[in-house]
Amino acid sequence: MMSIEEIRKRIDELDTSILESLAKRFSLLDDLTEYKLKNNLPIRLLDREQALIKEKIGKARNLGLNNDKFIADMFQSIIDESSRIQEEKRKQ
């Protein structure tokens, strides 16, 4: 069995991985915003957002994560921040 320190270290490493993944996701927003501007697309497409959240809930369930509200809230927060960043980029 791992010690509490080892468990905490593993959790910290996974937390860092989550943050790195978010940074990579947000790094794509320059290109996404530019594409949407050139193609006269809105920043938000609510139908797409809802489909994306539903898809992520399904993937989460397949991974044994069964708290649908947590997954929906987490991805809604990511989408909201992504939209906020895109709005800021459009103003530049």
pTM of the model: 0.92
Write out the chain's pLDDT in tens, 92 residues.
Answer: 999 999 999 999 999 999 999 999 999 999 999 999 999 999 999 999 999 999 999 999 999 999 999 999 999 999 999 999 999 999 88
Angle at 74 between CA 55 and CA 87, to 5 degrees: 95
Domain count, the chain: 1
CATH number, residue 68 = 1.20.59.10
The DSSP code for 23 is H
Residues 61 and 71: their CA atoms lie apart, in Å, by 10
Query: Domain span at residue 26?
Result: 4-91
